[in-house]
Chain A
Amino acid sequence: MNSQKIISTQKKSPKSLQKTLGIGLTIGMTLLWMFALAGAVYVSQNKLNELFDSALAETAQRIMPLAVVEIINREDLTQAQQVMAFKAHNEPLVYIVRNNLGQILLQSHNADPAIFNQTLLKGFNSSATHRFYGVSAVQDTLHIEVAEPLTQRRDAIIEMAVTLLWPLVFLIPFCFIGSWAFVHYSLRHVLAYRDEIESRGSSDLSLIKTESLPAEIFTISESVNRLLDRLRRALESERSFTANSAHELRTPIATALAQIQRLQQEVSAGPTQDRMIKLESTIRGLSNLSEKLMQLAKAEGGGLLSNEPCDLISLLKLITNDAQRSHPETVIILALPKNKEYRSAIDPDAFAILIRNLLDNAIKHGAIQNGAIQNRVIKHTEKDQPIEISFSANGLLTIVNDASVIPAEILTQLRQRFVRSNVSAQGMGLGLAIADAIVSGTGATMTFNSPATGRVDGFEVSVDFSTIN
C-alpha cells in the first residue's frame, strides 16, 4: 500500500517532445561540429608539422654550407664561435655546428647547447621540448643540428583550433533556437490536436479532426476517435435507459396513486380510509425514492454538460414557478438580474434536478416547526418563512431557508447520502448528495453556510456556475 502511494506520488510529469527534440538536435549538431573541428585540427596539425619540419630541414641545409666555409677559413679549427645577431630579435630556430668529436664549432646567438642531443643524430627527432633536424658534411666531420621549440607548433595549433571554436559558441544558441522553431513548425498539427482536446469540455465527445496529422500520430487519433464514439454511444444508451426506466416506473406508480385517491373518495371516514391514507403515503414514498435514485444515477452517470450552452436564468424561473405551484403554502422569493441571461454548459436537465433538490431541501427543512436537537437533529424555527433564491449576473446561485444554526461538523456531512440534518423532516437524505454529484460532475462549486450570510440563523446553499468550463 505504502509503496503504491510512493509510486503514485513520484509520478513524473510527461516530457515535452518539442523540448526533447530541440535539445537532442542541438546536442547532436554540437557534437558533430566538435568532431569536425577535431578532425580539422588533427589534419591541420599534421600538415603544420610537415611544413615546420620542411622549414627546419631547409634551414639546416642552407646554413651548413655557410658554416663549413666559415669553419674551414678559421685559423684554429677547434675554437668555438657564436654568430652574433645584427639586431635583437626573437629566434625561434636555433642551431649548433659540432665536429665529429662533439665539440661545438659554431652556434646561433641564442642557442643553448643543453637542449640539443648529446649524440650526433641525422634527420628528424624530438625531445620533450624541441624538434630537431641534424645533417653532416665534409665526410661526417662537421654536423649541424637545428632545433625548434615544440611550443611554437602547439601555439599555432591552439590558435587555429580556437579560431575554429569561436563560431561554435555563437552557433549553439542559434542552433537550439532554429531546432526548436523547426520542431515547433513540424509539430504544429500535433499541437493543434492537443489544443483541441484540451479546449473541449468534458461533455464534448464529438470526433476530433485528424486532418494533416503526421502518420505516427494519425493511428493514435483514429483510435481516440473510435473510443470517443463508443463512449458517446454508451452514455446515450445509459441516459436513454434512465429516461425509459423513469417512464416505465412512473406510469404504474401514477396509476396506483390515482386509484388509491379515487378509493379514498369513495369510502367514508374510518379505519379503511386511514389505511388508504397510509397506503397513499407509502406509494408516495416509493415514488420519491425511485425518483431520487434515478436522479442520483443520472448525476453520477455523466452527461451533465451540454454542447449547447443554455440560459440558466430562464430555466430557474420555470423551475421556481413549478415549485411555487407544487407548494403553494411556501413563499418563494426569486431575485434575478434584470434583462440578463447567464449561459452555461451545464445540461438543462441536470440543472433542473440540481435546483429541484435544493428547493425541496429548503422547503422541507425551512418550513418545519420546532424540531428538537438530538445528535444530528436541528431545531427549526417558525413556519412560513420565505425561501429566498437569488442568481447573480456572474453565475452565483444562492438559496436561503429558515433554520436554526447548523453546527459546522454536520454541514460537512450533508453531502453524504442518506444523511439528514433533521430526522423529523420527511426526506431520504439524498437531495444534497444528488446536488453534490451534479455540482462535482459539472465543475461547479457548492458551499453550505449556517447561519446564512447577513443573518443570525438560517441555512444557505451557494452554487457557483462560473467555474464550469
Chain B
Amino acid sequence: MRILLLEDAEGLGEVIHDQITDEGHAVDWVQSISHAQASLRTTRYDLILLDLILPDGSGIDLLKKIRHAGETVPVIILTAKDQISDRINGLNAGADDYLVKPFDLSELSARIAAVSRRYAGNPNPIINIGTLEVDLTKHIISREGAAINLTAREWALLEAFIQRPGILLSKSQLEDHLYAFGAEVESNTIEVYISRLRKKLGKDQLETVRGLGYRMGSV
C-alpha cells in the first residue's frame, strides 16, 4: 500500500516508517500539514496515518479538508490525545480508526490491515483465490495446505491485487503502491516481482494485459 505518515515526532515517525516499510508498504513520511497537503496533491494514497497535534495546525482540520474534498482515502489517527471527546471528534471528522499513543507496532499493523480490508470491501481477513488461501492478518498464504513464503515486497504486491480484485493495475500504479517518494525504482522491478509471484502462486493467478498492466482473478 502507499501510505502517507504524518507524524512530527522525529523518533516515533522514524520507527513507524521503518516498521511499515518492512511490511512491504510504501511510506511517505511528512512532519507538517503543509508537506502533507503537497503530497496529497500529487499522489493517490491507500491510507493516511495522521497525528493530531502538528507544528502548523491541527490534524483534525486537515482531515476535515480531505473529507470535504470528497476523498475517501482511509485515515487512521495516531495521537496522544486519549480523551473520549477527542476520539469522537476524530471519528466524526471522518477518521476510520483512532489509535492512542503509546501503542504496539503490531497493533498498528493490525489496524492498518483491518482498515485496508474494510475499504477493499471484504473485512474477512481470510480469503480464497482459486486454490490459494490467504490470511491477511497473519500474512500466511497456502495452496492446498502447503505454505508459500513471500517476501515483504511480494506480499505488498499481492495485497495491491487483492484490494482491487479483477481490476487492471498499470505498472506505474503498482510502483506507486510499492515505493515511496525518492525511492530508486529500476525500470523492470515490477516485472521481476510479478515473475516471482507467478512462480510461487501459479502462472494462472496473474494475467498480463500487454501494454496496459496486470490483473488478478476474482477473490
Contacts and interface: CB of A to CB of B under 8 A. Distances in A.
Interface of A: 243, 246-259, 261-262, 265, 283, 287, 291, 315, 318-319, 326, 348-349, 351-352
B11 A349 contact: no
B83 interface: yes
Given A243-B81, A250-B100, A250-B101, 8 more contacts: A251-B101, A253-B102, A258-B11, A258-B102, A261-B105, A262-B18, A318-B84, A349-B83
A250 B80 contact: yes
13 contacts: A247-B81, A250-B101, A253-B101, A253-B102, A254-B102, A255-B12, A257-B103, A258-B105, A259-B15, A262-B18, A265-B22, A326-B107, A349-B83
Contact of A255 (B11, B19, B83, B100): B11
Interface string B1-26: 00000000101100110110010000
B152 interface: no
Given A243-B83, A315-B84, A349-B84, A259 B11 contact: yes
Given A253-B102, A254-B102, A258-B102, A246 B15 contact: no
Nearest to A326: B107
Nearest to A263: B15
A255 B9 contact: yes
Contact of A246 (B11, B18, B19, B80): B80
B53 interface: yes
- Contact residues of B: prevailing secondary structure: helix
A424 B38 CA distance: 53
Contacts of B87: 318
B85 interface: yes
A48 B84 CA distance: 91
A348 B85 contact: yes
A319 B84 contact: yes
B19 A262 contact: yes
A258 B12 contact: yes
Contact of A254 (B18, B19, B22, B80): B80
Contact of A251 (B18, B80, B88): B80
A352 B84 CA distance: 6
A291 B80 CA distance: 11
B184 interface: no
Contacts of B100: 250
B191 interface: no
Nearest to B16: A258
Contacts of B135: none
